[in-house]
Amino acid sequence: MYLIDISLKNSTLSEEEQAKQLDAHRAWFAKYFQQGNFLLLGPYLDKERAGVIIAQTESRERLENILAEDIYYPNLADYQIREFKAAMVAENIQQFQGA
């Protein structure tokens, strides 16, 4: 599994262009959420223009290919990727959706 921290860099684009990019970014993560590669994702509440994804792929190479499809990749955002093993998973994790 992977923990992906995404932070957008400062943009000189208009608000309209930034909104179009965000729509494309949302379509990208929705695609991989529906395919089961992104297990949990959302924006940070304490940091603007940043968020986190917990992902599962068959390899790091596959994850890199998925990230390369994001409109922000590689120059418009910083991506920190950490690989981890889920040793424990709460049975009630869904109760925290939207919290």
Q: What local confidence, expressed as pLDDT, does residue 78 receive?
A: 96
Q: What local confidence, expressed as pLDDT, does residue 12 receive?
A: 83
Please tell me the total count of domains within the chain.
Answer: 1
Per-residue pLDDT in tens (0 to 9) along the chain, 99 residues: 999 999 999 888 888 998 999 999 999 999 999 999 999 999 999 999 999 999 999 999 999 999 999 999 999 999 999 999 999 888 898 888 876
Cα separation, 96 vs 87, in Å, equals 19
Does any domain span residue 95? Answer: no
Phi, psi of 8 (to 5 degrees): -70, 145
Q: What local confidence, expressed as pLDDT, does residue 13 receive?
A: 85
Q: What DSSP state is assigned to residue 12?
A: -
Does any domain span residue 99? Answer: no
Task: Quote the pTM value.
Answer: 0.88
List the domain range (segments joined by +) for residue 64: 2-87
Residues 6+ apart with CB under 8 A from 54: 1, 2, 3, 4, 38, 39, 40, 41
Does any domain span residue 97? Answer: no
Does any domain span residue 27? Answer: yes
Does any domain span residue 81? Answer: yes
CATH number of the structural domain spanning residue 42: 3.30.70.1060
Does any domain span residue 20? Answer: yes
